[in-house]
Structure 1
Amino acid sequence: MTVLVTGSRGRVGSALIPLLLGKGIDVRTASAAPGKPVPPRGATAVRCDLRDPATFPAALDGADAVFLYAEPSQIEAFVQEAEAAGVQHIVLLSSSSVIGPGAPESAIALSHLTVEQALAVSSIETTALRPGAFASNALQWKWALQSSGTIDLPYPGSYSDPIHERDIAEAAYAALTEPALRGAAYHLTGPESLTFSQQIAAVEAAAGRTVPFRRVTPEAWKESVGPHLPAAAADALLGYWAASDGVPTTVTHHVESLTGHPARTFATWAAENASAFTGTPGSPGTA
């Protein structure tokens, strides 16, 4: 079997590749700039820019399955080329935002829904993985700590279900290698529903330092992230955080049903990434 892994430099894709190689599967690591970084031994680097249909034919030629990131801009062209290449199965990295309240109005949900809908009307069997918040989202806090020494949060009491990226990768591996798991949609979560302040406490315990934060208005937060986050995405995040402020999220057991083990805790992730939070303001850090 040959599997094309898009987003191969991402946290999930890079964790999935060695699992597939360990199974003896032919792996193509796809990115807009193949070979940077050098793919693991046994994998073949190919150019596949999900925004550039000209890169699709060569990347998909001979592929049996695809691990697909949810890039909507050229999804119809990608599906058409995958069908022509004879791809039999796509495992899509979608988002739990597509099943949340107000999904059609959310910019984050809409991009994932667009891809899910394009795949739903194709001839290719599709398995949708719908994770909630990535535990690695917390790495964004290190920049604030290094620059100002504190984290700005508009909703410290907002709940999420942070999931370890390796659990997502292992779920994708199971879906790609176990035929009985194909064709379904799986809502993936971590094992706990935690507020931002509880996640910060876990980071403090792991890093052995105080991680100060302050509550700011949604407007102030949106202005502060404006240089690097589109307004629509910022509004979608603020809407989600407001809706889940003081409201625990639903936790599922789909990680365990797919992988055979319970989902890793956020404390486990924090311990593995503690070095990212041990720097002082103005220091380069060690992410």
Structure 2
Amino acid sequence: MTILVTGATGNVGRQVVRELLARGHAVRALTRDPSRGGLPDGVEVATGDLAIPDSVAPALDGVTAMHLITFDGGNGAALSTGPQIARLAAKAGVRRVTMLWSGEPGPVEEAVAAEGLPWTTLQPQEFMANALLWTDSVRTEGVVREPFGATRSAMIHEADIGAVAARTLTEDGHVGKEYVMTGPEVLDVPQKLAILGRALGREIRFVELTERQARERMREAGASPEAIDHVIGWYADPPEEAYTVSSTVERILGRPARTFAQWARENADAFR
């Protein structure tokens, strides 16, 4: 069977592709920009944009399962074309869908369920890959500047998300499930930096921003007021699921979830 992976060049999408290939499945990778490349050999690349449903229709031909992101890859907002995408998937004969949520249930999940497609929702909390936002300041100054240093989260390795997605797409027993997913430990910002520093062999200094400073930094970077409120609100008062370790990864994969120390070692070169 052919499995379509949307958002295939994103942090999670790439991992879904790799895991499916490793399990011997035919993979079609949907991306808005094939020039970003980096996809493994053996993947069929299809150009399409979930925000433009007609562009996705050809990529669904012959597809029996689909990994679907529920947000617009261009701006991160909730995808407004869920009903059209769900209808196209049902018409194409898709028999299983995993949905990567945007942080809260939304219109895509509703549309997929309304269309009668067998679904599984993946609800990972904070991605370890978010730490890549620190690469420039760590590389040039040996410092990280963030607000809410005491905020604790059970960050999840994006490869674990990809592995769970591959299992739920190709194995029985997951239809209708909503999987909250975390890593195996709860860490605050200084603890994360200590772990990253050990991987780099040097200390990383933490400078705590005020909320006002953090908002201004995001405004200067071009973030919308809605995006700023969402991000700042999450870190100021994260949901309980974000700092409560979940057993989902270990239960589905039969092994412990990867630690932040593993992620730091794997990605150390990005900070050097």
**TM-score, structure 2 normalization:** 0.90
**Quick one: which amino acid aligns to residue 264 of structure 1?**
R
**Quick one: which amino acid aligns to residue 99 of structure 2?**
L
Matching residue of 1:256: 250
The answer to whether residue 51 in structure 2 is matched with residue 51 in structure 1 is yes
Does structure 2 conserve the Cα–Cα contact (< 8 Å) formed by 1:222 and 1:231?
no
Give secondary structure in 1 for the equivalent of 2:173.
helix
Give secondary structure in 2 for the equivalent of 1:28.
strand
Distance 1:130 1:32, change over 3 A: same
Does structure 1 conserve the Cα–Cα contact (< 8 Å) formed by 2:14 and 2:39?
no
Deviation at 1:18, TM superposition (A): 2.7
Matching residue of 1:27: 27
| Structure 2 unmatched runs, 5+ | 72-78
Matching residue of 2:122: 129
Distance 1:213 1:127, change over 3 A: same
**Quick one: which amino acid aligns to residue 41 of structure 2?**
R
Give secondary structure in 2 for the equivalent of 1:30.
strand
The answer to whether residue 69 in structure 2 is matched with residue 76 in structure 1 is no
Give secondary structure in 1 for the equivalent of 2:180.
strand
Alpha-carbon distance between aligned partners in 2 of 1:35 and 1:180, rounded to the nearest angstrom = 37
Deviation at 1:220, TM superposition (A): 0.9
| Structure 1 unmatched runs, 5+ | 99-111, 279-287
Deviation at 1:252, TM superposition (A): 0.6
Distance 1:206 1:149, change over 3 A: closer
Alignment length, in residue pairs? 264
Alpha-carbon distance between aligned partners in 1 of 2:38 and 2:190, rounded to the nearest angstrom = 38
Matching residue of 2:76: none
User: Could you tell me which of 163, 168, 171 is aligned with 2:164?
Assistant: 171
For residues 260-275 of structure 1, what are the structure 2 equivalents within 5 Å?
260-275=254-269
For residues 76-225 of structure 1, what are the structure 2 equivalents within 5 Å?
76-95=83-102, 97-98=103-104, 112-146=105-139, 149-225=142-218
Give secondary structure in 1 for the equivalent of 2:122.
strand
Alpha-carbon distance between aligned partners in 1 of 2:170 and 2:138, rounded to the nearest angstrom = 41
Give secondary structure in 2 for the equivalent of 1:160.
coil
**Quick one: which amino acid aligns to residue 23 of structure 1?**
R
Give secondary structure in 1 for the equivalent of 2:68.
strand
Post-superposition CA distance 1:228-286 (Å, at most 9, x none): 422212211211222249x98111100011111110111111111112223xxxxxxxx
Greater alpha carbon shift after TM alignment, 37-46 vs 168-177: 37-46
Alpha-carbon distance between aligned partners in 2 of 1:92 and 1:198, rounded to the nearest angstrom = 31
**Quick one: which amino acid aligns to residue 245 of structure 2?**
V
Deviation at 1:38, TM superposition (A): 6.1
Post-superposition CA distance 1:131-187 (Å, at most 9, x none): 000001001011233455532221000011110011001100110111122321100
Does structure 2 conserve the Cα–Cα contact (< 8 Å) formed by 1:35 and 1:45?
no
Alpha-carbon distance between aligned partners in 1 of 2:10 and 2:91, rounded to the nearest angstrom = 27
Alpha-carbon distance between aligned partners in 1 of 2:35 and 2:233, rounded to the nearest angstrom = 39
Greater alpha carbon shift after TM alignment, 140-149 vs 47-56: 140-149
**TM-score, structure 1 normalization:** 0.86
Greater alpha carbon shift after TM alignment, 222-231 vs 259-268: 222-231
Does structure 1 conserve the Cα–Cα contact (< 8 Å) formed by 2:127 and 2:156?
yes
Alpha-carbon distance between aligned partners in 1 of 2:146 and 2:39, rounded to the nearest angstrom = 37
Does structure 2 conserve the Cα–Cα contact (< 8 Å) formed by 1:194 and 1:248?
no
Deviation at 1:36, TM superposition (A): 4.1
Does structure 2 conserve the Cα–Cα contact (< 8 Å) formed by 1:176 and 1:182?
no
Greater alpha carbon shift after TM alignment, 70-79 vs 186-195: 70-79
Post-superposition CA distance 1:94-151 (Å, at most 9, x none): 15x42xxxxxxxxxxxxx5222222222210110010000001001011233455532
Does structure 2 conserve the Cα–Cα contact (< 8 Å) formed by 1:203 and 1:267?
yes
Give secondary structure in 2 for the equivalent of 1:210.
coil
Greater alpha carbon shift after TM alignment, 226-235 vs 248-257: 226-235
Post-superposition CA distance 1:189-212 (Å, at most 9, x none): 000111111111111111111211
